[in-house]
Structure 1
Amino acid sequence: MTGMNSKEQEIVNAIRNREKSVFESLYKEYYRPLFAVAFRYVRYAPAAEEIVHDVFLMIWKKADQINIQYTIKSYLYKAVVNSSLNFIKKEKNENEKQAAYMKINTTNGLENDETERQEALLTSVENAIDILPPKCREVMYLSRFGKMKQQEIADQMQISVKTVKNHLTYGFHKIREHLENQNPQLWLAAFILFEYLRH
Structure 2
Amino acid sequence: MGVYRSYSDSELAYLLTQGDELAFTEIYNRFYGLLFIHASRRLNDEEEAKDVLHQLFESLWVKRMQVAPDGNLSAYLYTAVRNRVLDVFAHQKVENRYVDSLQDYIDQDHVLTDYMVREKQMARLIEQEIDALPPKMREIFILSRKENKSHKEIAMELGLSELTVKTQVKKALRILKSRLGLVIYVAFLFKNYH
TM-score (ref. length: structure 2) = 0.53
Distance of aligned partners of 1:52 and 1:159 in 2 relative to their CA distance in 1, 3 Å threshold = closer
Q: Give the CA deviation at 1:11.
A: 0.9
User: Equivalent of 2:118, from 144, 154, 175?
Assistant: 144
> Where does structure 1 differ by over 3 angstroms across 4 or more consecutive aligned residues?
67-71, 143-149, 157-161
Q: Give the CA deviation at 1:124.
A: 4.0
8 Å Cα contact 2:14/2:70 also seen in 1:
no
What residue is the counterpart of 1:113 in the other structure?
Answer: 96
Output the CA distance in 2 between the equivalents of 1:31 and 1:159.
16
Cα distance 1:69–1:9, how it changes in 2: closer, same or farther (>3 A)? closer
Residues 30-57 of structure 1 deviation map (CA, whole Å, 9 limit, x = unaligned): 2222212111111222211110111111
Query: Which protein has the larger Cα radius of gyration, Structure 1 or Structure 2?
Result: 2
Distance 1:43 1:113 in 2: 16
The superposition leaves residues 60-100 of structure 1 with CA deviations (integer Å, 9 ceiling, x where unpaired) of 11111123775322322221122112111111xxx24xxxx
Distance change in 2, residues 1:137/1:17 (3 Å): same
Query: Is 1:156 the counterpart of 2:157 in the alignment?
Result: no
Whole-angstrom CA distance in 1 between matches of 2:71 and 2:100: 32
Instruction: Indicate the residue corresponding to 2:53 in structure 1.
Output: 52
Q: Which has the higher contact order (CA 8 A, sep 6+)?
A: 2
In structure 2, list runs of 5 or more residues that go unmatched.
1-6, 124-144, 146-175
On the 8 A contact 1:38/1:84 being kept in 2, the answer is: yes
> May I ask how many residue pairs the two structures share in their alignment?
131
Identity between Structure 1 and Structure 2 (%): 19
* Distance in 2 separating the partners of 1:19 and 1:84: 28
C-alpha offsets along residues 152-182 of structure 1, whole Å, 9 cap, x if unaligned?
A: 99x9359987xx98xxxxxxxxxxxxxxxxx
Pairing of 1:10-29 with structure 2 (within 5 A)? 10-29=11-30
Kindly tell me: are residues 15 and 123 of structure 1, through their superposed partners in 2, closer, same or farther at Cα, counting changes over 3 Å?
same
SS at match of 1:142: coil
* Structural RMSD (CA): 3.7
